[in-house]
Structure 1
Amino acid sequence: MKARSKLLTIILIAALTVLSACGTTNTTTEQPKTDTSKKVVNIGVTYSPNTLNPLSPVGLVSSYVTGLMFLPLVEIDEDLTFKPMLADSIETKDNQTFTINLNKDAKWTDGNPVTADDVIFTFKLMANPKVASTYAYMYAIIEGLDDAGYLPEGKEDISGITKVDDHTLTIKTKAPTTLSIFQDSIGRYLLTVPQSALKDVAPENINKSEFMQKPSVTNGPFKLVEYSRDHYVTFEANADYFKGASKLNQLNFKVLQPTAISSQLQSGEIDMNIPSAGVIPIADYDKIKGLQGIKTTDGPAIATQFMYINEKTVPDAKQRQAISYAINREMIVNNLLKGSGEVVDGFFTSYSPYVDSGIKPVAYDPEKAKSLLQESGWDAGKTLTLTVLSGDSTLEQAANIMAENLKAAGINVKIQMADLATLIDKIVALDYDLGILTVSMVPVNPLPDVAYFLGEGNPNGYSNPEVNKLLASLGTEVDESKIKQYYSELQKIVAEDVPMPSIYATRPLGAVNERVSGATPKDFGMFNNVNEWDVK
């Protein structure tokens, strides 16, 4: 049970970032120190960077902050391609042995080169149960690690990882996998740390070490100056950054309320936001878009609201179909989100390369819902509890609309608000009727999430042998056309079984002051070229 709860928590990390932004209580006036004679950019975020630990970033903001100090091997961009960061390239000839070619110019801030030994040392830390990395499960595909991504007891080396030379290593996976999946699961989530600085620290003490509280030897474009977890992070440029020193002198992250993001964009106190991690309230979208000197971008639909349905409570597919037909998704998107979203009722949004555009979202049809309920013998006196994550006013309003829709179709619903930990515990224990949570899937590698939500031990009590076969095929297929075919078949089955209907996906707004050049607010790849940013 604990393992399932931890996995669901990990899957929901991106969602936690967005949702917690709406409930943050930071009202302090504590601000980073800024030298007005220097080139400085201030970024507004609505969620605290809870840790600077590159072995276990928690949430989007922690990932962005640590990634500025410790580069991933590669990073995804908004076009869903992977860009070289610490590695010049990742290559494979057989989709099972992957060669990582490190940038030979990469070096630590102490002047030493970044080597394959550092990368392998980091892999071993991530795979050590005493370190208990948040992302260890991503490495379970590597030969020599168990299904949780850890080294078996008594083992010190990872059999699937081999050093070729100082700047080259190979990694062998347990089964063939695509280059994209390898780049997403291994390339993006390994933030290499310096062996020289940590080799004498016992693994069980790594997370609490002084280095992890204030990293002093890094390899990214910026170096840490000051960190106040719930308030701000201040960086200075790494003058010796191997990709070229930043044109900026200082980069600040400021933790703010969503309404303060809007007001400080207007006042110039911040220069930009991160769309899904520096959330602008939907009510402020028009105002921000109308500001002079501010350029805005509508982000792609990534964060999706899913309805978990406990099949112990709602066992008949017709009843689950009725729930889906009863919900007026168009009204939620048009009225509540003011068009800043899209209607979704499957696992993939329009941003996903695997969405089957031939499968249309279920249309709002309360009469169809009533008919299906009648056919299934639904007990009209039954009341379902809809558990909703607290702290997000938009989600709460959407839940109220859903409850009214369901009541009109003949399903009595009462709403129960819950914090994240309580809601996750209820879902994992199947101690709920209906639940609403936000999930953000990486478009190029949705299988870990989809398998969790539909496969054995899923949080809905759903079971379909045909789905299990498709999930198994997706786990070993390397032909992209076949992968798309399998996902298409999966979407058709899900449309009939309705194990976990989605409702809508939001389109976050990004904004940047025109005095900043080279920077575009976006959820994927925003900081890939941060060393090229400049200010007028």
Structure 2
Amino acid sequence: MSHWKKRSKYTTLLVASAALLAACGSDDVPDMEQGAQADGEETGTTPDVSEGDTSTLMVGLTNAPDSFNPFYRPGVAATWVQRFFYDSLLFMPTADSFEPGLAEMTTEDNQVFTVTVNADANWSDGTPVTAEDVAFTLNTIADPAVETTLGTSVAMIEGTDASGVREEGLEELSGLEVVDEKTLTITTKDPVDLNYISEFLGLNVLVAPKHVFEDIELSELPNSEAATMPSVFSGAYQFVEYDNNNYVHLESNPDYYRGEPEIKTIYAQIMNGTSLITEFQAGNLHMTAGGGIGMIPVQDIGMLEELEDVVVEEHPSFNSQYMIINNEKYTDPQVRRAFAHAIDRETIVENLLGGHGEVLSSTYSSASPYKDTDLEPLEYDPELAKELLEDAGFDFDTPIELVVPTGNAVREQSGNLIEQWLEEIGLTVNQSNYDFPTWLSMAQDLDYDIGLMGWGHTADPNIASYLQTGAASNNMAVSDPTMDELIEQGMTETEFDARYDVYSDLQKYMQEQMFVVPLYSDSQFSVQSTSLNGGINEYWAGSLYDVNEWTIDPE
């Protein structure tokens, strides 16, 4: 492991069609009671639901949840499913608004935040949700012995380091103070934007029941029954069953503090993209999740648009695809920029995505209010690329190893094109293909030259987890003082205009240094039956804020 890495090596869950990035402080891999399906495999027995049943919601997923542990959510599907039964402090129905969830969050100085827990919020076993639950959750995430994917979500709290780990010598975070049963204060290291802490801590952290988890040894937490087969909940639904390779079964929480759900039963069925289309055509699904959880091949979206009882909407996505670069091996930014000039990204968007996407100039797509619209992507110019490499004294005789993960057809096809384009400027490229967990492990060990990777972004522009020196998901060995300074400045500014200027400078600097080549962001499609009242919003991550109010019309 290279010297720049501050945190311990990732562990990897060999589940689902594509696991996302995970941070860890343990070598244990959670042993889930049930497995998950790889994309492309056939599903098992589907739930038997009566035709015209208005009390059961059928959801299609192509990525299976890889964890039910509230402290460890490596995949977006895991977070999405957990949101049905664990609530966060705040809800985020749109990309620029927040509503109270388990609590309200207020501040007078953008450094001390008062969290007031809903007086009516109880756990499903009747125990009140308290400020102690919130403090316990945040302290557990920050504990250096805990395997977690949420370090960046708490890294602004006083008493943590830049990765969100509790500072040595502290038994609890100094920035947390429980005032009474329903009130605590959170003090940050520096003043921060209310929207930043609202999304990263208020939305992204799911509050766990202290009375369920507190007696579990930290080393045993990943494989504990509480983490693999949860039984106490604060959300609108209760976990019932995870049927291997098939579905997650949820039932309504009758004592939900925001009102008992109208829809009593949910089955989240795991299937490949082709099966999603077939099930919609047969009228067996009400919706598919957004954000890459339910992935319908873009070339097949027209088949769903032809269905009279299905609504298809297209929106820009926060998530993006990149060609990551081993910056320990390729230290010259001129070489990295040459790689970018050699790739015809417009062809990827037009030919492979059918125009349903955009070429990226930096890390932010048009979905982000922080995208610098004046910054254009580097142009496709193979002659310039070759000239830059020659001027840099690049060794054209040494082969470049390109890693392309399997499971995403467009990404695999773009890998073939990228190999071809790099060879056209005189490079020798050896492409290798691995399942995503294997590729992720290689990337964390810097056992690659270049490779393709998708990043999930938030509405807030903070990208510290990917590009800050030593960050948990920085698998490119980026260690740049200017980048670190811009990231820190962006996190400490408290007003939108000031933050926008910082992130505009960051985008320009990223294009200049080209630590990673931004490729494209494909459109996000929401697909659902006309009988469903509710469902996926344009900002898909906030879609479950009112799930207890959703209804299904009789057919």
Question: With structure 1 as the length reference, what TM-score do the two structures score?
Answer: 0.90
Q: Using the TM superposition, give the Cα deviation of residue 517 of structure 1 relative to its aligned residue in structure 2, in angstroms.
A: 1.0
Mean CA deviation greater in 193-202 or 298-307: 193-202
Mean CA deviation greater in 291-300 or 382-391: 382-391
CA distance in 1, matches of 2:249, 2:71: 21
Q: Using the TM superposition, give the Cα deviation of residue 198 of structure 1 relative to its aligned residue in structure 2, in angstroms.
A: 4.0
CA distance in 1, matches of 2:345, 2:520: 7
Correspondence for 2:447? 431
- Contact 2:465/2:471 (<8 A) preserved: no
CA distance in 2, matches of 1:78, 1:227: 30
Q: 2:360 aligns with which of 321, 340, 344?
A: 344
Mean CA deviation greater in 148-157 or 47-56: 148-157
Q: 1:163 aligns with which of 178, 194, 218?
A: 178
Correspondence for 2:526? 510
CA distance in 2, matches of 1:406, 1:457: 26
* 1:288 has 2:304 as partner: yes
Pick closer, same or farther for the CA change 1:410–1:78 going to 2, 3 Å. farther
CA distance in 2, matches of 1:496, 1:418: 31
Pick closer, same or farther for the CA change 1:222–1:248 going to 2, 3 Å. same
Question: Identity, % of aligned pairs?
Answer: 32
Q: 1:371 aligns with which of 387, 403, 413?
A: 387
In structure 2, the residue corresponding to 1:504 is in which secondary structure?
strand
- Contact 2:319/2:521 (<8 A) preserved: yes
Q: Using the TM superposition, give the Cα deviation of residue 23 of structure 1 relative to its aligned residue in structure 2, in angstroms.
A: 4.8
Which structure has more helix as a fraction of its residues? 1
Q: 2:157 aligns with which of 136, 142, 148?
A: 142
Partner AA of 2:460 in structure 1: V
Deviation digits for residues 426-471 of structure 1, max 9, x if unmatched? 4344332221111111131423235337989954455554334323
Correspondence for 2:316? 300
Q: Using the TM superposition, give the Cα deviation of residue 147 of structure 1 relative to its aligned residue in structure 2, in angstroms.
A: 4.7
* 1:528 has 2:545 as partner: yes
Q: Which runs of 5+ in 1 are unaligned?
A: none
- Contact 1:106/1:219 (<8 A) preserved: yes
Deviation digits for residues 113-146 of structure 1, max 9, x if unmatched? 2221222233333334444333245323222345
Partner AA of 1:271 in structure 2: H
* 1:391 has 2:402 as partner: no
Correspondence for 2:89? 73
Q: Using the TM superposition, give the Cα deviation of residue 9 of structure 1 relative to its aligned residue in structure 2, in angstroms.
A: 7.5
Partner AA of 2:388 in structure 1: L
Correspondence for 2:230? 215
Mean CA deviation greater in 284-293 or 171-180: 171-180
- Contact 1:237/1:248 (<8 A) preserved: yes
- Contact 1:447/1:474 (<8 A) preserved: no
Pick closer, same or farther for the CA change 1:383–1:369 going to 2, 3 Å. same
CA distance in 1, matches of 2:18, 2:362: 17
Q: Using the TM superposition, give the Cα deviation of residue 101 of structure 1 relative to its aligned residue in structure 2, in angstroms.
A: 1.6
Partner AA of 1:529 in structure 2: D
Q: Using the TM superposition, give the Cα deviation of residue 305 of structure 1 relative to its aligned residue in structure 2, in angstroms.
A: 1.5
Correspondence for 1:451? 467
Measured on the aligned residues, the alpha-carbon RMSD in Å equals: 3.0
* 1:225 has 2:228 as partner: no
Pick closer, same or farther for the CA change 1:379–1:392 going to 2, 3 Å. same
Q: Using the TM superposition, give the Cα deviation of residue 99 of structure 1 relative to its aligned residue in structure 2, in angstroms.
A: 0.8
Q: Using the TM superposition, give the Cα deviation of residue 521 of structure 1 relative to its aligned residue in structure 2, in angstroms.
A: 5.4
Pick closer, same or farther for the CA change 1:248–1:383 going to 2, 3 Å. same
Correspondence for 2:19? 16
Pick closer, same or farther for the CA change 1:450–1:118 going to 2, 3 Å. closer
Correspondence for 2:277? 262
In structure 2, the residue corresponding to 1:34 is in which secondary structure?
coil
Partner AA of 2:190 in structure 1: A
Partner AA of 1:192 in structure 2: V
Mean CA deviation greater in 246-255 or 122-131: 122-131
Mean CA deviation greater in 299-308 or 454-463: 454-463
Q: Using the TM superposition, give the Cα deviation of residue 6 of structure 1 relative to its aligned residue in structure 2, in angstroms.
A: 4.6
- Contact 1:49/1:230 (<8 A) preserved: no
Correspondence for 2:510? 494
In structure 1, the residue corresponding to 2:223 is in which secondary structure?
coil
Correspondence for 2:373? 357
Q: How do residues 31-46 of structure 1 correspond to structure 2 at under 5 angstroms?
A: 31-34=46-49, 37=53, 39-46=55-62
Mean CA deviation greater in 303-312 or 68-77: 303-312
Q: Which runs of 5+ in 2 are unaligned?
A: 22-35
Mean CA deviation greater in 417-426 or 1-10: 1-10
Q: Using the TM superposition, give the Cα deviation of residue 303 of structure 1 relative to its aligned residue in structure 2, in angstroms.
A: 2.3
Pick closer, same or farther for the CA change 1:209–1:431 going to 2, 3 Å. closer
Q: Using the TM superposition, give the Cα deviation of residue 67 of structure 1 relative to its aligned residue in structure 2, in angstroms.
A: 1.5
CA distance in 2, matches of 1:102, 1:196: 17
Q: Using the TM superposition, give the Cα deviation of residue 528 of structure 1 relative to its aligned residue in structure 2, in angstroms.
A: 0.9
- Contact 2:147/2:222 (<8 A) preserved: no
Q: Using the TM superposition, give the Cα deviation of residue 25 of structure 1 relative to its aligned residue in structure 2, in angstroms.
A: 5.0
Mean CA deviation greater in 116-125 or 262-271: 116-125
Q: 1:121 aligns with which of 127, 131, 136?
A: 136
Q: Using the TM superposition, give the Cα deviation of residue 417 of structure 1 relative to its aligned residue in structure 2, in angstroms.
A: 1.4
Pick closer, same or farther for the CA change 1:367–1:483 going to 2, 3 Å. same
